[in-house]
């Protein structure tokens, strides 16, 4: 990844001495191993930060101008403090502007700022690249401004900023992962309590690969809205029979007792959410106990549920997962992300990577899409990497 310190100084013609302070922070992308198609606003996730990062450098200006430079893209954007607002055409710069808005609303930003952005998180594949930019920008700004905002309050502050500045409701989960991750650890993230439990990875001699299927995705958000509507309907009907406020309050038997009230489609969606919550809990136990065989079964069952009950998989990703399952030495494989294409992840013994990649060569011949493979490791969370 680019060393943005010298790039930032060259872009804004800053002196290399301490009279021109430059603060640089980085934040990781993340992957969900389980849970992303659970209950909205009440999810349980098995996640981790990955060693793909967004880096943001910031330095002060003497005027009220805001300058943005994306070093990887060679693109520049600009605005002023008084005109700070979301602009669709500003794309990546909007995520940095969100961090400015956040600290401006707290009274910290009174002069202009220079920003440089670089990163190596693959985009549009569900690895939270935009959240990483927001967290990195916030961490860099916090250092420059000597702001007293505690890290534990930053996720909720960013959620509020998303609603007020970008006009969208988001989950705090990606921020919780980015700020709490630890190298070589999985994270169990509770969206309700905002709690994060760190679990040491038992996969020391394994590789982790992300396979981008390259399947074009059209109308994904509309399909996901339908599924979320089905789960809301399922929860409403379950609550009429047995008191509860979320799917965590119900078990498979409750769905069987309500079969006469639920349509088959609503029942399938609801069953996936109930069982996925349980799978996250079971995966935690399996990881803590080093039971790799049980963990493998949980992950494969989750993919089957996404395919058969929640119906967000597709033939291409199903093929990638099944092909991986057939190879001895593969511990887990499953789709990840929004679905209808996108990515699968595979955890496999290091010495069978070449055989895995060889077997995946049939994918392009069968489906006509050239997949991209990214190896990743479980990484630490956001940090300030240069100051002053």
pLDDT digits (tens, 9 = 90+) for 154-173: 999 999 999 999 999 999 99
Which letter, b or e, does each residue of 18-32 get, where b requires 16 or more Cβ atoms within 10 Å of its Cβ?
eebebbbbbbbbbbb
Mean pLDDT of 85-91: 96
Q: Which fold has domain 4-199+381-386?
A: Ribosomal Protein S5; domain 2 (3.30.230)
Kindly indicate the confidence band of residue 260, based on its pLDDT and cuts at 50, 70 and 90: confident
**Is pLDDT of 115 > 90?**
yes
Question: Considering 3, 20, 174, 308, which one is annotated as catalytic?
Answer: 174
Report, in this order, helix, strand and coil percent for the chain, each rounded to 5.
45, 25, 35
Spatial CB neighbours of 285, under 8 Å, sequence gap ≥ 6 = 291
Kindly indicate the confidence band of residue 70, based on its pLDDT and cuts at 50, 70 and 90: very high
Domain ranges of the chain: 4-199+381-386
pLDDT digits (tens, 9 = 90+) for 318-345: 999 999 999 999 999 999 999 999 999 9
Give dist(CA 26, CA 379) in Å, integer.
12
Residue 286 exposure: Cα atoms within 13 Å on the Cβ side: 19
pLDDT digits (tens, 9 = 90+) for 194-231: 999 999 999 999 999 999 999 998 889 999 999 999 99
In this prediction, residue 262 carries a pLDDT of: 83
Q: How much of the chain, in percent, has pLDDT values that exceed 90?
A: 87
**Is pLDDT of 133 > 80?**
yes
Kindly indicate the confidence band of residue 256, based on its pLDDT and cuts at 50, 70 and 90: confident
**Is pLDDT of 259 > 90?**
no
In this prediction, residue 354 carries a pLDDT of: 94
**Is pLDDT of 14 > 90?**
no
Helix, strand, or coil here: 138?
helix
Give dist(CA 180, CA 187) in Å, integer.
8
What is the rounded average pLDDT for all residues in the chain? 94
Task: Tally DSSP H helices, then E strands, for the chain.
Answer: 12, 12
In this prediction, residue 17 carries a pLDDT of: 59
Kindly indicate the confidence band of residue 353, based on its pLDDT and cuts at 50, 70 and 90: very high
- Of residues 76 and 21, more confidence is placed in 76
In this prediction, residue 16 carries a pLDDT of: 63
* Pick from 9-13, 47-51, 297-301: least confident: 9-13
Closest C-alpha to 18, from 351, 292, 387: 387
In this prediction, residue 18 carries a pLDDT of: 58
In this prediction, residue 178 carries a pLDDT of: 98
* Pick from 154-168, 250-264, 269-283, 356-370: least confident: 250-264
In this prediction, residue 123 carries a pLDDT of: 86
Annotated active-site residue 174? The verdict is yes
């Amino acid at each position: 990844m680019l060393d943005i310190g010298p790039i930032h100084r060259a872009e804004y013609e800053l002196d290399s001495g301490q009279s021109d302070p430059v603060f640089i922070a980085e934040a990781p992308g993340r992957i969900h191993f389980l849970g992303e198609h659970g209950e909205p606003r009440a999810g349980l996730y098995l996640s981790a930060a990955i060693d793909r990062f967004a880096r943001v450098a910031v330095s002060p200006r003497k005027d009220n101008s805001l300058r943005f430079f994306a070093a990887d893209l060679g693109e520049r954007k600009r605005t002023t403090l008084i005109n700070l607002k979301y602009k669709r055409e500003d794309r990546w710069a909007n995520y940095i502007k969100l961090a400015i808005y956040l600290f401006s609303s707290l009274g910290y930003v009174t002069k202009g700022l220079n920003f440089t952005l670089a990163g190596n998180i693959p985009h549009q594949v569900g690895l939270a690249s935009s959240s990483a930019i927001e967290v990195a920008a916030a961490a860099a700004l916090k250092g420059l401004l000597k702001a007293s905002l505690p890290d534990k309050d930053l996720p909720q502050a960013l959620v509020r900023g998303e609603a007020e500045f970008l006009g969208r409701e988001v989950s705090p989960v990606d921020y919780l992962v980015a700020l709490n991750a630890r190298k070589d650890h999985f994270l169990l993230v509770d969206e309700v309590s905002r709690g994060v439990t760190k679990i040491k990875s038992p996969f020391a001699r394994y590789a982790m690969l992300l396979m981008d299927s390259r399947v074009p995705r059209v109308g994904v958000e509309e399909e996901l809205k339908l599924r979320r509507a089905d789960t809301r309907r399922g929860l409403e009907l379950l609550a009429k029979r047995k008191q509860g406020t979320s799917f965590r309050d119900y078990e498979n038997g409750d769905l069987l007792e309500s079969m006469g009230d639920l349509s088959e489609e609503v029942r399938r969606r609801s069953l996936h959410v109930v069982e996925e919550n349980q799978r996250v809990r079971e995966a935690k136990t399996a990881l803590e106990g080093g039971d790799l065989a049980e963990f493998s079964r949980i992950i494969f069952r989750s993919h089957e549920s996404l395919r058969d009950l929640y119906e967000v998989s597709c033939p291409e990703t199903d093929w990638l997962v099944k092909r991986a399952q057939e190879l001895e030495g593969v511990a887990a494989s499953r789709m990840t992300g929004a679905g209808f294409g996108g990515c699968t992840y595979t955890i496999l013994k290091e010495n069978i990577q070449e055989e895995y990649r060889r077997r995946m060569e049939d994918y392009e011949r069968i489906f006509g899409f050239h997949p991209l493979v990214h190896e990743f490791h479980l990484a630490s969370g956001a940090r300030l990497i240069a100051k002053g």
